[in-house]
Amino acid sequence: MSESVGSYFQYNCAGDKPLFYQVKPITALLYSIATWGLYSYWWHYQNWHLIKNNAESTISPLARSAFHPLFAYSLYDQISETASSLNVRGAVFLRTLGILHVLSVGFWFEPIFDLFPIISLLVLLPSMFDLVLVQWKVVEINQALGLSICNKFETIDLIPLFLIASQMLAFYLVMI
């Protein structure tokens, strides 16, 4: 397939290179939980890096991932446009997720988080889950291009489970 897809960046989707970062949605969720949301920086970097290479663009993936809450709408909109051009259904909500992701940045600066740290966790959790929803659409896009994602359980999938278990154990030991 050698058609050009997307509106922000015109790139050729021929070949076996994925247009967006290829990871299982459950793995993305586990890594997000295990790293307390820091995985989203890596995920955004990988997506912007692929967009830059596929589109032969001059964007800076490092800067866009470092400030990913501000560029989330741009990335989610690009994924939505690509999904629409490939007739992948149900991608309209990605723009809404992008707007919510950008708006959630403002909540981090609220002074109430100093008093109630658990509230900051409630702001962090939706950003972990929107990553999974977007990743499902990314998998569908890459599958529409004829690329497959490995759905079998691999050894590397144990890493986030180990991190989560060790964090829970450390939390339990501190509470004793």
CA 85/CA 115 separation, integer angstroms: 47
Please give the Cα distance from 96 to 82 (Å, whole number).
16
Across 126-140, average pLDDT = 83
Length of the chain in residues, anyone?
176
> How much is the pTM?
0.74
How much is the pLDDT for 31?
83
Cα-Cα-Cα-Cα dihedral of 49, 53, 59, 60, to 10°?
40
Give yes or no for residue 16 having a pLDDT over 80. Answer: no
152 has pLDDT over 60: no
Please say if the pLDDT value at position 113 is more than 60: no
Higher pLDDT, 55 or 3: 55
Of the two residues 139 and 37, the one the predictor is more confident about is 139
- The pLDDT tens digits for 67-87 are 888 888 889 899 999 898 888
Q: Where are the domains of the chain?
A: 4-175
